[in-house]
Amino acid sequence: MVSQAASIAALADLGELDAAHLPRDGWGERLSSWLGTAIDHAVLRAVQFAIDRTLLPEPERVAAIRRSAAPFLDGTADPARFLDGVGRSATPPRATESYLGPIGAGIRIARRIHWDAADPMQVEHWLQAPGRTRGTIIAVHGFGMGHPRVDAIALQARDWFDAGLDVALFTLPRHGARTDKDTRFSGAALASGDIADLNATIRQSLHELLLLARMLREESDAPVGILGQSLGGYLAALLACRDPDLAFVVPIVPPACLGDLAWRFLAASRSARDTARAAFTLAELRTCFRGHSPLAYRPLVARERLLLVAGRGDRIVPPEHPQALWKHWEEPAIHWFGGSHLAPFGRSGIAQAVLGHLRRLDIL
């Protein structure tokens, strides 16, 4: 594993995200983006209502939430060492498998991958017929998802499988079947406001993805790459800064800074304007999460193996985020689709862009 110090960029100050400047588009894309923006805005209003009612801390909880962030704010824990040790395991991961059924000429299996932690990884693995695979794509869902049947649709898994790739649908910690028993929905634990807990979950997710990528490479000589959407795209981008052996990395609508993203949600909330309930400033949120921002590290994967995918009308992860990552990565290939985060009307174009990228890399 390449040392973390060799890949650190500007960890001390992530800076402001520049306003997005999108390439010219046609009327069809403009219409799709307008509709997508309207859908994203409608959902955001509902989310902001939920934040007001359930997620914003009551005044008496602000002190406890700030204490959870203290190691990341006051220097008692070095953020530059946040990712030290990820991808290392005292014992080799071992998998138990169960058959789920056929798919095309191949099969689907459920894999529980045990490592040092009590909570095993969970992967739904779509396998080509023996001798037919061109490689493996690790597909990582977004926040609040984690159910392979739904994730497969959102992540366009059938497109990649039909093109000749094995597909490993990875369930993030605290999502899907791994959801905490005392929470309301998949991934809800990450919205509790506990900074240390959220950071630990991001770290665990990256650790597991590194172990999974290595295990898949050991099982086959075929190339292994990663595609992630939203939170999964964030992790895919971070993985590009830790694993130089990935054959390709495709972050779709990826956040670049979770602190900035969290602030956008909170700033639009009525209750967040009440300073008695606002636990953090924007600068503090950026500092809390800077240890795992892909903007804080240099990619170790070659530039020609990177492809960013972003929505013109995205209002959940605004275009400023993928654009910032694109600039930080020295402007690799990027595909802008018509539509938004929740209404990606340009799904066929996304598939064409990803498959075209893999053909240029001679993977397909």
Summarize pLDDT for 142-185 with one digit per residue, the tens: 988 999 999 999 999 999 999 999 999 999 999 989 988 887 78
pLDDT at 69: 83
What pLDDT does residue 276 have? Answer: 46
Question: Which range of residues forms the domain containing residue 315?
Answer: 26-92+140-166+174-207+225-360
Asked if the structure places residue 153 within a domain, the reply is: yes
Which amino acid belongs to residue 348? S
* pLDDT above 90: residue 291: no
Q: What is the mean pLDDT of residues 191-213?
A: 89
Q: Identify which has the larger pLDDT, 212 or 12.
A: 212
> Is 231 a residue whose pLDDT tops 70?
yes
Residues forming beta bridges with residue 315, ordered by sequence position: none
Residue with the bigger pLDDT between 182 and 55: it is 182
**pLDDT-based confidence at 87, cuts 50/70/90?**
confident
pLDDT at 11: 43
Which of 202-206, 247-251, 322-326 is modeled with the greatest confidence?
247-251
Low-confidence winner among 73-87, 233-247, 277-291 (lowest mean pLDDT):
73-87
User: Is position 147 within any domain?
Assistant: yes
Task: Quote the pTM value.
Answer: 0.88
Domain-embedded: residue 258: yes
Is 318 domain-assigned?
yes
pLDDT cut 90: percent of the chain above it:
47
Q: Tell me, what's the pLDDT at 281?
A: 80
How many domains is the chain built from?
A: 1
Q: Looking at residue 210, what is its pLDDT?
A: 95
Residue 78: predicted pLDDT: 61
Q: What's the mean per-residue pLDDT of the chain?
A: 83
CATH of the domain at 199: 3.40.50.1820
Whether 286 maps to a domain, the answer reads yes
- 307 part of a folded domain: yes
Residue 299 lies in a domain: yes
- Evaluate whether 272 touches 56 at the Cβ level (below 8 Å): yes
3-state SS of 191-246 is HCCCHHHHHHHHHHHHHHHHHHHHHHHHHCCCCEEEEEECHHHHHHHHHCCCCCCC
199: tokens are 């950071």
Query: Could you tell me if 230 and 316 are in contact, meaning their C-beta atoms sit under 8 angstroms apart?
Result: yes
Confidence of residue 302 (pLDDT cuts 50, 70, 90): very high
Question: Which strands form 94-103's sheet, in the order they lie side by side?
Answer: 94-103, 106-114, 121-127, 165-171, 135-140, 224-229, 249-252, 307-311, 333-337
Per-residue pLDDT band for 81 (boundaries 50, 70, 90) equals confident
- pLDDT attached to residue 188: 76
- List, in sequence order, every residue forming a beta bridge with 95; answer none if it has no partner: 113
Let me know if 13 is exposed, middle or buried by CB neighbors in 10 A (0-12, 13-18, 19+).
exposed
Tell me if 128 sits within 8 A of 105, measured CB to CB.
yes
Query: What percent of the chain is modeled with pLDDT above 70?
Result: 76
**Token output for 295:** 């903007």
| Domain-located, residue 269 | yes
Please tell me the least confidently modeled range out of 6-15, 41-50, 120-129: 6-15
